[in-house]
Amino acid sequence: MRNDATTLTRDRTGKPASGDEQTEITLAFDDNRLASLVFGHYDQNLAHLERRLGVMANANGNHVVLKGLAEPSEQARRVLENLYRKVKTGGTVSMGDIDGAIEETSLQKSLFPSVAEPGRLGFEAVHTRKRGAVKARNAAQDAYLRALKRHELVLAEGPAGTGKTWLAVGHAVSLLEQGVVERLILSRPAVEAGERLGFLPGDMREKVDPYLRPIYDALYDFMEARHVERGLQTGMIEIAPLAFMRGRTLTNAVVLLDEAQNTSSMQMKMFLTRLGENSRMIITGDPTQIDLPPGQKSGLVEAVALLSKVEGIGYASFGEADVVRHDLVRRIVKAYEDAARSMQPEVRRP
């Protein structure tokens, strides 16, 4: 390590460990307080690491001893070192951060050397003033952030809890803060999924705000509340239903359309053709949660089929394995996907 921990690696015989042998690794961090942040309350972070990698991790003060097979033990060492560097710069460690660090260290050997980007050492990150650097937690999120940075139009589809909307809002806020764009426009289709807009109290904005609440939540995660309110008052930030986009040309803006699986084909075509000069467009949705009337084609599904291979358009796909919201959410999504697959009719071969 770089002057902040001492690493000793030995197998049971005292020889350097090979991949299929038991080994023991001792880490000694130079700051007890920071080490305790890495280990977690009652060492809960180490317990999570043990479950994920199948190793034993015993902490004592600023020391931790890792025992197990050589490869997962070495990966656990890299995870703890990465998390220690994070807390040294003022960051915090959550269960999701541990999962992200595990994914990152498991892919560093095979994924990143093949990427033709000198100096690329890990997953991509979104940088905002409020949250600092927010790194991708898995390969799908990493590919998503790279697509957002390289393309003016990005289509992203996948189940709930994979970070599609949250990362898109973070990326949009970073572009706004860097001065790349002048406006931030966030939109959703206000689909009446069993409820009627007319029964909601208030004026039009008060009626549609509940549909846009998740976007507000993500926005407040990445920006100070006073900056959000000021942006909404000045028009620098606009949150509007999809229907309000018709007839507009959106220039010098980053435009996010969330829940795009609930757009019709005509709505999606209308939205895509709003793209103006120096603008970016991000479209996210979950094709398994379509609330359109039966028989109506989803604009997102159609757009992905037509545009995912068009030059200049980025595409990101997420699966149940990429869920980062909560491990129970991952299992729920998997159960629904398994049930959907079991209900599909078998194709008989001649």
Sheet with 313-317, edge to edge strand ranges: 237-241, 183-188, 253-257, 280-285, 153-157, 313-317
The span from the CA of 22 to the CA of 148, in Å, is 42
Q: Which whole number is the average pLDDT over 314-332? A: 80
Q: How many CA atoms lie within 13 A of 146 on its CB side?
A: 16
Length of the chain: 350
Q: What is the per-residue burial (b if ≥16 Cβ within 10 Å, else e) of 130-160?
A: eeeebbbbbbbbbbbbbbbeebebbbbbbbb
To the question of domain 134-343 being in CATH 3.40.50.720, the answer is no
Q: Could you give the CA distance from residue 109 to residue 119 in angstroms, rounded to a whole number? A: 14
**What's the pLDDT score for residue 309?**
82
pLDDT at 110 over 50: no
CA dihedral 153, 188, 183, 162 (to 10 degrees): -60
For domain 5-107, the CATH architecture is: 2-Layer Sandwich (3.30)
Residue 239 pLDDT greater than 80, yes or no = yes
Bin 259: left if φ > 0, else alpha if -120 < ψ < 50, else beta: left
Residues near 239 by Cβ (< 8 Å), separated by ≥ 6?
Answer: 185, 186, 187, 212, 215, 216, 219, 232
> Residue 146 — pLDDT band, cuts 50, 70, 90?
very high
d(CA 30, CA 38): 12
Tens digits of residue pLDDT in 155-181: 999 988 888 999 999 999 999 999 999
pLDDT digits 0-9 by tens, 291-312: 888 888 999 999 999 997 888 8
Residues of the chain with CATH 3.40.50.300: 134-343
| Most confident segment among 38-52, 83-97, 218-232 | 218-232
User: Range(s) for CATH 3.30.1370.10 in the chain?
Assistant: 5-107
**Residue 344: what are its φ and ψ, rounded to 5°?**
-70, 135
Task: Return all residues near 148 (Cβ < 8 A) that are at least 6 apart.
Answer: 154, 167, 168, 171, 280, 282, 314
Closest listed residue to residue 340, CA positions, set 156, 162, 159: 159
Q: How many CB atoms lie within 10 A of CB 63?
A: 15
Report the pLDDT averaged over residues 121-135: 82
Tally of CA atoms within 13 A in the half-sphere of 99 that contains its CB: 16
CA–CA dist 295, 290 (Å, integer): 11
What is the CA angle 86-38-111, rounded to 5? 55
Compute the C-alpha angle 287/289/135, nearest 5°.
Answer: 70
Between 123-127, 192-196, 334-338, the lowest mean confidence (pLDDT) is in: 192-196
Helix (H) / strand (E) containing 305: helix 299-307
- Whole-angstrom distance, CA of residue 51 vs CA of residue 45: 10
